[in-house]
Structure 1
Amino acid sequence: MYEGQFPHKRYKITLDFLKKHVSTSENILDLGVENPFSTIMKSEGFNVENTQGEDLDIDTSTITNSEADVITAFEIFEHLLSPFTVLQSIKTNKIVMSVPLKLWFASAYRSKTDKWDRHYHEFEDWQFDWLLEKAGWKIIDRKKWTNPTKKIGIRPILRWFTPRYYIVYAERI
């Protein structure tokens, strides 16, 4: 059904996971500016509002003032210095969030041209679970998947077997 429709494998997996846990009748606040995946969510019937590019480490007012039923954050927390503060500021009882996992054979991602496109955190799954639990969330469902590339070399081969992404659905305790 999805073959060829999405530019990234993670979009298909993320959308399937989202549909499993969130109804299109629920309002979503998606952390991060509008992006290709928030456009996909809207095209699939979800009512999505995005944050406006504010530095969520400093300003969580959009989150605390939100009346959304669900908060989503897809590949956002690795860019924050203090994701715990953001998680605590969420008032809704449902979240769906994904992060890239730490790869033992590669350094954390850091763009050479974009000062915002860098990873302060790359989590192991247990670290992200612990962060969520400490911030008052109970994980209901989780999924990991690989992100293989079509390049040649040891690292590309390892990407076929090593999970790169981790997504969770959690509810407020």
Structure 2
Amino acid sequence: MTRATPTAELLFGEADATPISTNEATVKSWDDARTCLEAAPKAWLSTVRPDGRAHAMPVLLVWVDDAPWITTRPTSRKGRNLAGNANCVVTVGSETLDLVVEGKAVRAWDEAELLRVAAAFKAKYEWDLAVRDGSVHEDALPGSPEYGFYRITPTRAFGYGVDGLTATRWRFE
């Protein structure tokens, strides 16, 4: 699925920006944000528990088919939270950008898609995950535990420059 480039804009206007920059030249491109997501050694995933409380944990993240993907065991707190409420937030940081991506995480079941994502985890993390019968397993562990791959579809994202003075919002709708 190819997505249109999101609208990039200054996060703050003149009236509320002090000390944030209102210079249009400081708006970051989505390519900058994507590069930050692709290169991140790990990300933080925030999900919503059934009782409404937030839950945040580190996750591994890969970029496949023009989207960020994470993996977790479906029986983990993260996996159970996503099964009940797909809304989530992914955060990463780099030397040039701190990034917050709001979106929805949907578990993939298509075998071709699972194979592409497994290959991306192998390439980035040297993590061998086996795809069989529409499921993902780590055969190197006892019992070959099941994992799920979750595609994050961004709805809104925020990028902050390391200078503390620049901010960009991306809207995907």
Q: Per the shorter chain, which TM-score range?
A: under 0.3
TM-score (norm 1): 0.28
TM-score (norm 2): 0.28
For CA contacts below 8 A with separation 6 or more, give which structure has more relative contact order. 2
Tell me which protein shows more helix as a share of its residues: 1
